[in-house]
Structure 1
Amino acid sequence: MANDMIVQLSDQDWEELLHEKDEKLKRALRELADVRYALDQSTIVAITDQRGKILFANDQFCRISGYERNELIGQDHRLLNSGTHPKSFFKQMWATIGAGQIWRGEVRNRAKDGKFYWVDTTIVPFVNQQGNIYQYVSIRSDITDRKLMEEEVRKSEEQYRIIAENTSDIISMIDKAGNCLYLSPSHRTVLDHDVPEEKIQNLLDWVTKEDRGIMEYAIEHVCSTRKEYTAECRLTSGGKQIWTETKLNPILDESGEVHTLLLVTRDITERKHSEETIHHLAYHDALTDLPNRRMYIQHLGREIISAKRFQSNLAVLFLDLDRFKDVNDSFGHDVGDLLLIETARRLKTCVKQGDIVARLGGDEFTILVSQLSGRKHAEEIANRIIQELEKPFVWNGHEFNISCSIGISLFPDDGEQAEDLLKRADTALYTVKSRGRNGYDFFDPTMETKSLERILMENELRKAIEQKHFEIYYQPKMDIGSKQLVGMEALVRWIHPELGMIPPNRFIPIAEETGMILPLGEWILREACRQNKEWHEQGYELKVSVNLSARQIYQKDLVENIRQILNDTKLDPKWLELEITESIFVKMEEATPVLQEIREEGIQISIDDFGTGYSSFSYIKSLPVDTIKIDASFIRDVHHNQESQAIVKAIVTIAESLNMNVVAEGIELTDQAEALQLNGCDQGQGYLFSKPLAKQDFDHYLKAK
């Protein structure tokens, strides 16, 4: 009975065991099916015999190669040979798997349609009980995209290497301490030396001692802010010193910290020399080499601050030469220039060291007397100047005499601002001249009373603006070489019903001072845009330039007004250029964002009358400016004066380095135009091409052109 029970249990166990094994087999088969599906979707699988004949090819193999399964079975992998790899490549592969070892490598194959593809390949040999290889299983992954990317990276790296090794700039990589990690070969040419890279320890060793702090600060700034920084400093090598501009860029690690810096260093020595020339021209009178108005105002401002601090006094003397025009008319401008040079020399002998003698223009000079002991001190200097200038001037064996008139203002009695002191000294000068010249006088508040003529002019101007007694004249801008018309400048003329045409120099200053320039300027801009749009519709697509006064720049709603005018007239902003004067540098911080906003509208900006006393390229570089217009005073003698030619060339050089255009004003002679071309200035305007023309005359001019 016990034996029967054991048999029954054994049968039950047997059934359970069979069931369990059946389930395990089913699971294994499902798992194998899943693995096969996964392999078919992502991996190329092939089985070959010991001779390399394909016995099995999965779906992915067929998809990637483009062959049907029956086209692959029985073939060997030479069917897919792309010709990329040498015979030694496959010889080494067969040697490895023939020895029973697994082979891994990257293979480039050719699909049925002729396209190439890359596969990451693993070949596993299978050995029977006798130790003989009877088949190989190869597992491949498509890496075509990765290989293409690697090739692109390789080409990119090659391109950057070629650029780095052939650029005229010095490209370097340094650590935070300035130690060189990489240095492009161009350092030998730029710095004119033969020092090998391995002997170059630290980039800071090249920087002059005076400028080393600049570069150290630049490195520290980039490391702390993780932002690009540009520094200008001098480098010394091979016994010479050059100016360089270096752009420092941070290279961040995975944590976002700066671990190295990429530097691009450019030789700007020529530009710096040009800037120094321009800087001197910007702050000095070209004829006498005295400080000009801008330098004088700046120095006067500093002296006022010092005088306030130490409670000292100053005097401003404003003088001009009496009947200087008669000298020019009688003896010519060359003699007049010699007289001005001699006047400047004599004036400098009348003041002590530390006082400033400046030429404002024409025959106008001004003297700043610091550490003034009192009113009598100023009188002594004025008398000394009058006596010195009364001495005969000798030219070419001829003697002639000339006198001067002087107006004097005192700090702090007559004002505490530079412009106020200068203006009131000028007012006192006008009083001296009005009563007969050849003398001096101190400013008195009663002198500021407006003349009857000024009051009448102001009233008439107000009525003229209300009744629109103005007309726009247009002066062509030309390409000097081709005589091609490239644009025009809009110039306002006041047509008085009784007095006729009144020139701008008589009413524009009054409009500026009274604020009437705002409605007048808006009318000029609107009329110029409207007329230009009309010419565009007739087929004449030209840019019109309109003068923008300093008073308008600081107008609160200027940009919105310009935008509205362009919208009303339907003139594309690219056909409008606004010309500003150098006086904006006085309040550059306020003007810059306004000009930037105008420029963002697509309107171009030009600096008019460049070189008349305010300009400095340290400011120009900071302003959103497209064009520099060289003042006519530099053009007048450019065809025979080497100094004027040097000025033009220096301006053109700097403008080109800042991607600015240059236009010459006041061209009257063919020789002037030729001299401008020789010195790099290709555009200009002046009577050589055309005087300003009324609208109907400009219509005829356009048709003729």
Structure 2
Amino acid sequence: MLVKPDMVPRFVVPPGFDAICADNLLDTPGSIIFFKDLRSRFLRVSVDCADLTGRTPDEMIGLTDFDLPDRSETRVHAHELFADEQRIIATGEPMINKVEVDRLADLPGTWVETSKFPLRDFDGRIIGTFGFSHDVTRWEVAKHELARVAAASEDAHAALRVVEDQLRAVLNGSTDAIARYDRELRYQYINPAGERSRGSTIAALTGRTDRETGMAQSSLEVYEPALRRVLETGEPSEVEFSVQDLRTDEDTWFHVSLSPDRDAAGLVVGVLTSMRDITEIKRAAQFLAHQATHDSLTGLANRYLLTDRLNEALGRMERHPSRLVLFFVDLDHFKAVNDTYGHETGDRVLVAVARRLQQVARREDTVARLGGDEFIVLCEQVVTDDDVLVIADRVVRAVGEPFDDGARTLPLSASVGAVVTDDPQSAASWLLHSADSAMYRAKDRGRNRFEIFDPRAPGDAS
């Protein structure tokens, strides 16, 4: 179900998001780039994107397109943008190269080409959308101007030569690989960028298929059916596929736009393709998605991702009744480590504790760092009370091992609070607060131990 704008709750920026974004990408002149959460609220934008609205990038954080200048055409456009993004979130399908008049910019006649993609974390979960736009006014104006010149020209042959020369200049200067296939999927034309991409010449490729020129089978399984669909339907299409470099085991990603090639009678006689390398965009999206949802020091899930995982776990409990346990882990006397040995040593201790908790946790559990020396372990499908006690004891013992970095050995211990629930209606904030209360009871009772939340216990009732 699509999220309605009036249902959006108070916006909370993911912790540490600004500090870890790739500013060199977002601050590049001419880069209109934006990242949004699941409710289409801006998480981060480039300087040029913010400039279009007369705001700074920081002022854009937390806003939606509905918060931009209140003009009737802007409101209509905001609804269109919201619908596009919610469709991407719901389907996981990107929106590629949508060309339209930029109604959010106070620049009449400005055309932009926009692509939007689902923003995923490294586990494949969609956590929002990201996109980028660039000004294509020059190309749109040139296209309309060429049409006007061709229509108005008294000498049709001269006009045709002008258009052909201009198209040839565009094709030769394009960084996208542009090719023309016949109905047998054999090359009839390829531009210089295509020659470079395929490592061959137009003479060697003409009359041959991609299969005959040695394209990888995994790529052919995606690309050939897309070409045939355009031939069969006469409708344009788009496709993405990757090619693995056998030397590095890394994937190179390509996005291809496919259009039918028609003769004078309108019959489809081939396919025109435009292929673009989007590897860097894919890598940047993965990097930013990971950084937005993970602690920069330990690599663990951060509060934003933990809350999302906790809500997902509660949702699963509605469909399949079970129990989950939330362990709140707080190091004892950690401040003394920082004060005595410095924050560099303290950071090494935190990384070591993170690794210990990951070793104790099961593969399906979530280990998170809330900040400072506070950690969370979320365990689902915990069957018995004895299981809760066993896991809590393991956590206390694992953290309680001395820390040895070769230069010194430091004693460590942790106070652990746990809350158990089988109620899928439990609020994530209440579970965190309850585990926190139990943790403080463990500190009051001597530290280096665990306590289970009990609403009847002093301090836990709240």
TM-score norm. by structure 2 comes to: 0.55
- Tell whether 2:222 aligns with 1:209: no
The residue number in structure 2 matching 1:401 is: 411
The residue number in structure 2 matching 1:277 is: 287
Q: 3-state DSSP class of the match of 1:262?
A: strand
Inter-partner Cα distance in structure 1 for 2:420 and 2:333: 27
Deviation at residue 415 of structure 1 after TM alignment: 4.6
Alignment of 1:173-572 (within 5 A): 173-174=180-181, 178-193=185-200, 196-202=204-210, 206=215, 209=218, 212-213=221-222, 216=225, 220=229, 226=235, 229-235=237-243, 242-250=252-260, 260-395=270-405, 397-413=407-423, 415-416=425-426, 421-433=431-443, 437-445=447-455
The residue number in structure 1 matching 2:172 is: 165
Check the 8 A contact 1:246/1:263 in 2, yes or no: yes
| Counterpart code for 1:200 | R
Deviation at residue 381 of structure 1 after TM alignment: 1.3
Deviation at residue 170 of structure 1 after TM alignment: 0.5
Inter-partner Cα distance in structure 2 for 1:171 and 1:333: 54
Deviation at residue 339 of structure 1 after TM alignment: 0.4
Inter-partner Cα distance in structure 1 for 2:219 and 2:437: 47
| Counterpart code for 2:163 | S
Check the 8 A contact 1:215/1:233 in 2, yes or no: no
Deviation at residue 260 of structure 1 after TM alignment: 4.4
Q: 3-state DSSP class of the match of 1:359?
A: strand
Q: Deviations over 1:145-204 (max 9, x none)?
A: 755443233122112113213422111234677554432232221133458122532489
Percent identical residues: 30
Alignment of 1:662-701 (within 5 A): none
The residue number in structure 2 matching 1:550 is: none
| Counterpart code for 1:269 | T
Q: 3-state DSSP class of the match of 2:159?
A: helix
How has the CA–CA distance of structure 1 residues 413 and 304 changed in structure 2, closer, same or farther, with 3 Å as cutoff?
Answer: closer
| Counterpart code for 1:201 | T
Q: 3-state DSSP class of the match of 1:328?
A: helix
| Counterpart code for 1:165 | N
Check the 8 A contact 1:390/1:401 in 2, yes or no: yes
| Counterpart code for 1:212 | E
Alignment of 1:564-643 (within 5 A): none
Inter-partner Cα distance in structure 2 for 1:400 and 1:238: 46
How has the CA–CA distance of structure 1 residues 313 and 254 changed in structure 2, closer, same or farther, with 3 Å as cutoff?
Answer: farther
Check the 8 A contact 1:165/1:186 in 2, yes or no: yes
Inter-partner Cα distance in structure 2 for 1:307 and 1:402: 35
Check the 8 A contact 2:262/2:269 in 1, yes or no: yes
Q: 3-state DSSP class of the match of 2:255?
A: strand
Q: 3-state DSSP class of the match of 2:377?
A: strand
Inter-partner Cα distance in structure 2 for 1:152 and 1:187: 27
Q: Deviations over 1:68-106 (max 9, x none)?
A: xxxxxxxxxxxxxxxxxxxxxxxxxxxxxxxxxxxxxxx
Check the 8 A contact 1:215/1:231 in 2, yes or no: no
Check the 8 A contact 1:180/1:203 in 2, yes or no: no
Inter-partner Cα distance in structure 2 for 1:251 and 1:389: 66
Check the 8 A contact 1:251/1:261 in 2, yes or no: yes
Deviation at residue 353 of structure 1 after TM alignment: 3.7
| Counterpart code for 1:198 | T
Check the 8 A contact 1:206/1:237 in 2, yes or no: no
Check the 8 A contact 1:208/1:234 in 2, yes or no: no
How has the CA–CA distance of structure 1 residues 210 and 182 changed in structure 2, closer, same or farther, with 3 Å as cutoff?
Answer: closer
Check the 8 A contact 1:414/1:443 in 2, yes or no: no
How has the CA–CA distance of structure 1 residues 175 and 194 changed in structure 2, closer, same or farther, with 3 Å as cutoff?
Answer: closer
Inter-partner Cα distance in structure 1 for 2:256 and 2:345: 49
Which structure is higher in RCO with an 8 Å CA cutoff and minimum separation 6? Answer: 2
Check the 8 A contact 1:407/1:441 in 2, yes or no: yes
Inter-partner Cα distance in structure 2 for 1:359 and 1:255: 65
| Counterpart code for 1:330 | T
How has the CA–CA distance of structure 1 residues 339 and 239 changed in structure 2, closer, same or farther, with 3 Å as cutoff?
Answer: closer
Deviation at residue 386 of structure 1 after TM alignment: 1.3
Q: Deviations over 1:398-417 (max 9, x none)?
A: 33323222222224147556
How has the CA–CA distance of structure 1 residues 165 and 355 changed in structure 2, closer, same or farther, with 3 Å as cutoff?
Answer: same
Figure out how many residues of one structure are paired with residues of the other and give that number: 306
User: Over the residues paired in the alignment, what is the CA RMSD in angstroms?
Assistant: 4.0
Check the 8 A contact 1:222/1:249 in 2, yes or no: no
How has the CA–CA distance of structure 1 residues 377 and 221 changed in structure 2, closer, same or farther, with 3 Å as cutoff?
Answer: farther
Check the 8 A contact 2:453/2:460 in 1, yes or no: no
- Give the number of the structure whose alpha-carbon radius of gyration is greater: 1
Check the 8 A contact 1:222/1:248 in 2, yes or no: no
How has the CA–CA distance of structure 1 residues 166 and 414 changed in structure 2, closer, same or farther, with 3 Å as cutoff?
Answer: closer
| Counterpart code for 2:284 | S
Inter-partner Cα distance in structure 2 for 1:176 and 1:444: 73
Q: Deviations over 1:637-682 (max 9, x none)?
A: xxxxxxxxxxxxxxxxxxxxxxxxxxxxxxxxxxxxxxxxxxxxxx
How has the CA–CA distance of structure 1 residues 315 and 246 changed in structure 2, closer, same or farther, with 3 Å as cutoff?
Answer: same
The structure with more helix, counted as a fraction of residues: 1
Inter-partner Cα distance in structure 2 for 1:215 and 1:186: 21
How has the CA–CA distance of structure 1 residues 262 and 306 changed in structure 2, closer, same or farther, with 3 Å as cutoff?
Answer: same
How has the CA–CA distance of structure 1 residues 353 and 237 changed in structure 2, closer, same or farther, with 3 Å as cutoff?
Answer: closer
Deviation at residue 318 of structure 1 after TM alignment: 1.9
Q: Deviations over 1:571-612 (max 9, x none)?
A: xxxxxxxxxxxxxxxxxxxxxxxxxxxxxxxxxxxxxxxxxx
Deviation at residue 387 of structure 1 after TM alignment: 2.0
Q: Deviations over 1:35-68 (max 9, x none)?
A: xxxxxxxxxxxxxxxxxxxxxxxxxxxxxxxxxx
Inter-partner Cα distance in structure 2 for 1:305 and 1:217: 38
| Counterpart code for 1:361 | G
What runs of 5+ residues in structure 2 fail to find an aligned partner? 1-151
Check the 8 A contact 1:207/1:234 in 2, yes or no: no
Inter-partner Cα distance in structure 2 for 1:219 and 1:247: 13
